[in-house]
Amino acid sequence: MSAQEFPQELLDLVIDHLNGDFPALKSLSQISRPWSQLTRQHIFQRISLKSNIRCITLKELITVRLELSQYIQAVEVRHEDRYLPPLYATPSNLCDLLVLLPAVTKLSLDGALRLIEWDSVPDELQSALYDVMKRVTSLELASISSFQIAPLAQCQQLKELSLVEVDLQPAMYTQPSPSALPSNSQKLSGRLQRLTVGNCAEALKALIALQPFCTIDLCHPTELVVNAFKFGSDMATALGHCCSAVESYYAFALTDRPKFTNPFTDTMIDFSRTPRIKHLCIRLAYYHWLAQINSTILEPIAHGLDGVLGSSNLETVTILLEFAPPPTRPEAGTEVDVYFAATREAWGLLDDVLSKDVFGKLQAVLLVFGTPNRTEQNCRWPGLWPARDRLIDKMPKMTAKGVLNITRSRSHPS
């Protein structure tokens, strides 16, 4: 059978399966012209710019093959090497490249290991980046200081916004006024659907204060993702203006500290602020659960749910516990972690709360034990099954209702 005789559906499945496997995709692209076009869509769909060399190389490639620019939909500008100058040190390379990318719908700026000092970014490059922000549907900003957030008010295509470790110039620190928010969001051209926040209280407050001047509704996302890192009263106050329409709420805490304290504050899991919530996902990643055996991680979650008044729309609850110990730790140690996690008395408390009439619409309670850094061959986890039996014993009401599902996974909900 020649390459031209392959069913299109089969070819699509093969290429989709190889998404991210660039050597394999490159090999497929050399078989036939139709295959080459499909594989290019995967290879160039998302690009990560980490150095000036990458910018120059990609610019030269697109200059020769202009059609490649139509495949590039997501651009990440990221600086991981603290010993090399940042991309904005020579702004012309990135500016020239951005002009060649008309199909971009997602932009990510991440300082990573080297904080992006926005006031040090040349005006020429700032202007080019703001121009891209105004036409993308998804924008991610991370590890940026002295950011000027006002231009985001004119990003009328925006559907997803992520602000993590973002602070502003001192002049931009403003308090939102609830009375200044528009009373009728239908007057706006669109609405933000997904909001992700983490340690960005001042940036979020300033953005909310700009709502009267926005071209879209920023205050009524249906999906809210909250990072527990440095979550305080200021962040809780800002989020109070963004929760009324939330249907899916994701809260997560990541740490590699053996003595990490309870990451969730009462204000972070105050579900009275999310009256429309249907899907709740709690994700915790720990270095070593044994170091936290006396902690009460699940109890605030149960107490937060117990504070819900009236009839709740909650349909699914997902709790993901990830164990990502260092590679030097014995494999059996993870099994011990899982077992001790299952012995927590708070599971019973959670079972009692979710069995109340207020959660009559509940359809699924999913408990996921994950190991993101281990291979499938090394992740048999025979120790999960005693833990599973223990969890079933501690949650008899959810078991009897037929909604409890316990599993393991190396991936986590987005």
Residue 168 lies in a domain: no
Residue 300 lies in a domain: yes
Residue 120 lies in a domain: no
Instruction: Give the count of beta carbons closer than 10 Å to the beta carbon of residue 265.
Output: 15
Asked if 302 contacts 350 with a C-beta cutoff of 8 angstroms, the reply is yes
Q: Which residues pair with 85 in a beta bridge?
A: none
What are the distances in angstroms from CA 360 to CA 219, 313, 343, 357, 395? Answer: 29, 8, 27, 5, 17
Residue 208 lies in a domain: no
> Which among 136, 25, 30, 123 is positioned nearest to 76, based on CA atoms?
136
Residue 263 lies in a domain: yes
Q: What share of the chain is helix, strand, coil (3-state, %, to 5)?
A: 40, 20, 40
Residue 275 lies in a domain: yes
Domain that holds residue 326: 247-414
Domain count across the chain: 2
- Side chain identity, residue 381: W
pLDDT value, residue 375? 45
pTM (2 d.p.)? 0.83
Residues of the chain with pLDDT under 70: 1-42, 171-187, 255-262, 286-297, 324-340, 343, 371-385, 410-414
pLDDT value, residue 253? 84
pLDDT value, residue 195? 97
Q: How far apart are CA 161 and CA 219, in angstroms?
A: 12
> Which among 167, 179, 231, 165 is positioned nearest to 205, based on CA atoms?
167
Alpha helices in 166-211 (DSSP H): 201-209
Residue 15 lies in a domain: yes
Q: How far apart are CA 186 and CA 194, in angstroms?
A: 18
